Amino acid sequence: MATTAPPRDTAIEREAERWMNDPYAHFGYHNTRIHTLPREEVAAVQLAAMNLRLQERREQVQMLAKLADAQGIGQVGTLDELAPLLMPHDMYKSYPQSLLARQQFARLNSWLTKLTRYSPEDVDVSACDSIDSWLTAIREETPLDVGASSGSSGTCSFYPKSKRDYRLSMMGLRVQLAQKFGEAPRPGDIEDKIHAIIPLYKDGHASMGAFGKYACEIFGKGDPACWHYCFDFKLSSDLMWLAARLRAAAARGDAGKVDVPASLLARRAEWEESQKAMPDQQLAFVNRMIGKLHGQRVFVMSTSNLLYAAARRGLDEGLSGVFAPDSVFMGGGGAKGVPLPDDLEEVIEKFFNTRRMISSYGMTEMNSFSVLCDHDRYHVLPWVTIYLLDLETGQPLPRRGRQTGRAAFFDMTADSCWGGLVTGDLVTVDWDHQCECGRTSYALEKQINRVSEIQGGDDKISCAATPGAQAEAMEFLTGFGG
């Protein structure tokens, strides 16, 4: 493909490097500044960053090199020219299933190594006998902290992100959530320890288990006394995989054919028990926290339904305003198909004493969470380039007017992987609109669907089988956001 080299502008390149390396420090952790940059300037920096990253990463990430070679792309002259190099999210689960079932972690390591600039294949995994032990070995010996998630097909996806990626991601939450947009940050927003209440696991390789320790680092400034989790154990990726395989087998109509190691299958009851007990334990945990951290500034990352249940009960008992008013609540997620109550926000805000329960859009494969503004738009951080791809052709839709397409992103801050990702989400962006909230950053409209949900015409009948939709419960297991 013929591409035109953009005129080299070293000043812009230097700026791009600052954004790529530590964007929050560069902008003084200033949420309002970050979201009010002129769009033309952002686009220029994004383009410069893309070329810098492409040059650097194609030497380091083998799968990117292959893709770039196949597409004949060495550099890009416009943002859209990068679109063919965005990697489908399926890439991160494109290993043969039997490697996992037969516990061939060395071969899985070789596969994973092609997706990151780090080298998990240098880690000795000969003694590993589970997904948990494999990913722990990688975490201990490399900068990586691989994110594992199990989708509705029963396939476990492994995204080799780094610890630095996680920290950046958590810092993005702190900067965007703790500050009120339109005001300068107060020193405490950046410097103070904030209690992190996460009604999930102490540890794990899925985001539900992994976030805690990074929340402790970033919100609690590393003070273990500021880290509050519900389950004092590691969320097992093996058990999550087992659950996904069981579900997939049941959906296939043959629960007997579950291709996981026998030792894992034997733990089925353990998983089912823990799932059954989970909601009650989480509610009890939140109630404990209400007593323990009364009046303090907290960061809570949870599902809306759980917060609602705790708040409803508290209000019924005559309590309200339990935490400090500048506390931060990130809700959302939760099981799809479970309707949210009409008075959800009102109840949570009144009980917990927060201005607003904030939702965000993000996924394991990205560092950057997009936070919902008062006008119901998810504002995307300036170091993330948004692409809306035509569902038919996969080509980028024009960056003007209101467009709906498959979301794809290039995140220049990606430390371990390439950073270009095609998602399974259908989103809408109005490119010409400046949001009433005052942010200049581009934004996704609140309504986000899975592309797979909307495809397929009405009332077409075929004798040939296509997979049924069985994703609901898995949505919860795969964690927050995307």
CA distance 438 to 375: 10
Q: Which of 24, 95, 329, 442 binds another protein (CB under 8 A)?
A: 95
Query: How far is residue 142 CA from its own chain's centroid?
Result: 21
- How would you class 98 by CB atoms within 10 Å of its CB: exposed for 0-12, middle for 13-18, buried for 19 or more? exposed
Where does this chain touch another protein (CB under 8 A) — which range of 96-104, 227-235, 275-283, 320-328?
96-104
Where does this chain touch another protein (CB under 8 A) — which range of 3-11, 234-242, 253-261, 274-282?
253-261
Minimum distance, C-beta of residue 8 to another protein, in the bound complex (Å): 30
| Residues in 254-283 that interact with another protein by CB under 8 A | 254, 257
CA distance 155 to 133: 18
| Residues in 410-439 that interact with another protein by CB under 8 A | 422
Minimum distance, C-beta of residue 254 to another protein, in the bound complex (Å): 5
Minimum distance, C-beta of residue 215 to another protein, in the bound complex (Å): 32
Where does this chain touch another protein (CB under 8 A) — which range of 9-17, 95-103, 224-232, 306-314?
95-103
Q: Which helix (H) or strand (E) holds 252?
A: helix 237-252
Question: Total binding residues for another protein by CB under 8 A?
Answer: 45
Nearer to another protein, 212 or 396 (CB): 396
Q: Which of 5, 9, 59, 66 binds another protein (CB under 8 A)?
A: 66
Positive or negative, the Cα torsion across 146, 150, 154, 159? negative
**CA dihedral of residues 335, 336, 342, 346 (deg, nearest 10):** 50
Nearer to another protein, 224 or 468 (CB): 468
By CB under 8 A, residue 1 contacts another protein? no
CA distance 471 to 468: 9
Minimum distance, C-beta of residue 457 to another protein, in the bound complex (Å): 5
**Phi, psi values for residue 419, rounded to 5°:** 100, -15
CA distance 425 to 366: 14
Q: Which of 19, 111, 118, 219 binds another protein (CB under 8 A)?
A: 111
Where does this chain touch another protein (CB under 8 A) — which range of 83-91, 236-244, 328-336, 357-365?
83-91
Q: Which helix (H) or strand (E) holds 249?
A: helix 237-252
Residues whose CB falls within 8 Å of the CB of residue 12, separated by 6 or more in sequence, listed in order: 44, 45, 48
Minimum distance, C-beta of residue 112 to another protein, in the bound complex (Å): 12
Where does this chain touch another protein (CB under 8 A) — which range of 23-31, 61-69, 161-169, 328-336?
61-69
At 300, is the secondary structure helix, strand, or coil? Answer: strand
Minimum distance, C-beta of residue 65 to another protein, in the bound complex (Å): 10
| Residues in 444-473 that interact with another protein by CB under 8 A | 451-452, 454-468
**8 A C-beta contact, residue 152 and residue 170:** no
By CB under 8 A, residue 93 contacts another protein? yes
- How would you class 183 by CB atoms within 10 Å of its CB: exposed for 0-12, middle for 13-18, buried for 19 or more? exposed
**8 A C-beta contact, residue 449 and residue 48:** no
What is the DSSP-derived secondary structure letter of residue 89? G
Minimum distance, C-beta of residue 116 to another protein, in the bound complex (Å): 15
| Residues in 314-373 that interact with another protein by CB under 8 A | none
User: What mask, x for binding another protein by CB under 8 A, covers residues 388 to 407?
Assistant: ---xxxx-------------
Q: Which of 47, 63, 135, 226 binds another protein (CB under 8 A)?
A: 63
Minimum distance, C-beta of residue 70 to another protein, in the bound complex (Å): 7
Nearer to another protein, 318 or 456 (CB): 456
Nearer to another protein, 32 or 403 (CB): 403
Minimum distance, C-beta of residue 68 to another protein, in the bound complex (Å): 11
- How would you class 267 by CB atoms within 10 Å of its CB: exposed for 0-12, middle for 13-18, buried for 19 or more? middle
CA distances from 395 to 184, 399, 407, 442 (A): 40, 12, 11, 20
Q: Which of 4, 55, 94, 447 binds another protein (CB under 8 A)?
A: 94
Nearer to another protein, 185 or 420 (CB): 420
User: What mask, x for binding another protein by CB under 8 A, covers residues 172 to 211?
Assistant: ----------------------------------------
**CA dihedral of residues 291, 294, 298, 301 (deg, nearest 10):** 30
**8 A C-beta contact, residue 412 and residue 21:** no
Rg (CA), the chain: 22
Q: Where on the chain is the footprint of another protein (CB under 8 A)?
A: 63, 66-67, 70, 87-88, 90-91, 93-99, 110-111, 153, 155, 252-254, 257, 391-394, 422, 451-452, 454-468
